[in-house]
Structure 1
Amino acid sequence: MGTFRIQIYAFALILFCACGSGENFKALNTDEIYNFSYNGFEKELKLNHQKNSFALVFFTKDCGVCKEQISVLKKLINHYDFDFFVVLGDAKDFNDAKEWSFEKNLDLKVFYEKKAVNFLSLAVGGVYGVPVLSFFNQGKMEQKFIGLTPYGILENTIKKIKS
């Protein structure tokens, strides 16, 4: 009987993760609420119930490589109209995330709440080091870069997605 219950709980968890209706997250630097929905069967991450093109960028506050990636990211933002969302994995609270964003002069949408960090990291297959840049096109993950990624490679990814 115990094994059967475990199987039912496991099935319910898989069904919940695979077919969730989405999660709402508020980002720093905006009043907008973003709804991310992940379909594990299709491996599709939708933003606001649409198949948008966007990138999730995972950072931690004290990561030296992340600091370098931020300067590359700023250069990309100045040259391309593309949605970047930062997921800050180790912010204590709103003020901590706001201070980090201000210190880095990063005027992007930053998700810092544990619920958002957990949900979005699961949607990209896990984050085991930072920085991580995951590019989505029409809901499907096109590319995932781990570590410091040069401008040219990121630029080519954006061009490919936009074409």
Structure 2
Amino acid sequence: IVDLMGISATRELAPLIAAIVIAGRSASSYTAQIGVMKITDEIAAMNTMGFRSFEFIIIPRVMALVVAMPLIVAISDAISIIGGMMVAKLNLDISFAEFLRRFREAVDIKHIFIGLAKAPIFGFLIGLIACFRGFEVKNTTQSIGIYTTKSVVNAIFWVIAFDA
């Protein structure tokens, strides 16, 4: 049970669930922020002043997710391992020390690195999709909600598609 839980959690489940949570949280936020900036002509004002909106709006947001996602996945890995330890203790009467010993034997470090390697790619996809949808917002406040929903759905879809 330790090997099944350890490999599936660190390699697949923790990165995927973390990416879905961040897609719901950050993709909606990014799209709504950029959509409001577009409706209130802040982006047009930036372009008029000679600032390239790509450099000041898209790159920082995408890079923030690229950097943050591996940290979030590492925390997700730790929480999933601790959760697995608790379930193993309560249901199977496997001590924490025994669980960790079996975990170290069964789960090769490459599985953890594979999960962590997916994280920046997931962050890049989520950030890029969210920013793209934010720039698609029309000049109505209703379109913010529409494109925010599209952003979250598209980000989750592409994260799952990439993970497959």
Name the structure with the higher helix share.
Answer: 2
Quick check: which has more Rg, 1 or 2?
2
* Same topology, TM > 0.5: no
Which structure's relative contact order is higher, taking Cα pairs within 8 Å and 6+ residues apart?
A: 2
